[in-house]
Amino acid sequence: MAVKAKITSIAIQPGPTCVFLGYKSSGITAKSLNHREIIKSYPEGKKDDWAGLYIAEDRATAEGYLPDSLPGNGTGDAYINLIYIEASTVKNFDGKGRKTQFVDITGSEIADPNVPQKEKARLVRKALSDIGVQIPESKPLIETLGLQGYLYRGPHTSTELEIIVPFNFINAKLAISLANLQSFKFKGHLPVGNPVLNPALGITNPDTPMNTRQALSLAP
């Protein structure tokens, strides 16, 4: 299946509310279980084509990210966070109103772990060029998409999607917030005990559709 790209615009209603975007596992989470918190900065790490904040569209995929957030000895706490776009700041995304612009990528090559990341980036650049979005080879792919006002959405596996939020959206736009969904403990890379749901959410099943529920209030 050839790699294809299209632009999807998601309109967001004005107001101080937030719009659910996805789940992210991490070694960090909201300090209070009762509030969501604006992400004011995020460690960028190395600058490469695929650098960004990785978000899963479903909780099971986010759980698969958990080992990546642990220290080298595999012992510590990890979290699945609910990730939100703050509607009150979405106008900062592209200057064209309260819409979030996604670059949607399809193609089995992107989900194939045997295809090198550099080749995946080349295929995505070609697909973007076909729809008029130019990303120079000399510029990091995700970062440059962010500078042009786009978030990336594409295959994580053959059955799962992931979103990559460019770091400049977080560190400059201040349009992303998180709230704790579940807490996990690991010892020697193995899970210990049962994950704990955030009681403030008022749910008993972690797979309850959170985009249909009232969000926790922003931290004061």
Per-residue pLDDT 10s for the chain (220 aa) are: 699 999 998 776 555 567 788 899 998 899 999 999 988 766 666 679 999 888 998 899 999 989 988 999 999 999 999 998 776 655 544 444 557 789 999 999 999 999 999 999 999 999 999 999 999 999 999 999 988 989 999 999 889 999 998 887 776 555 688 999 999 999 999 999 999 999 999 999 998 887 777 788 888 8
* CA-closest candidate to residue 147, choices 109, 183, 178, 101: 101
Strand blocks (E) in the chain:
4-11, 18-26, 37-38, 53-56, 76-86, 99-106, 151-155, 161-165, 176-187, 190-197
* Alpha carbon distance 44, 145 (integer Å): 15
Enter the DSSP assignment of 36.
B
Tell me which CATH code domain 4-204 carries.
3.90.175
- Report strand pairing: 76-86 vs 99-106: unpaired
Distance CA 56, CA 3 (A): 20
Structure tokens at 202: 């008022």
Domain ranges of the chain: 4-204
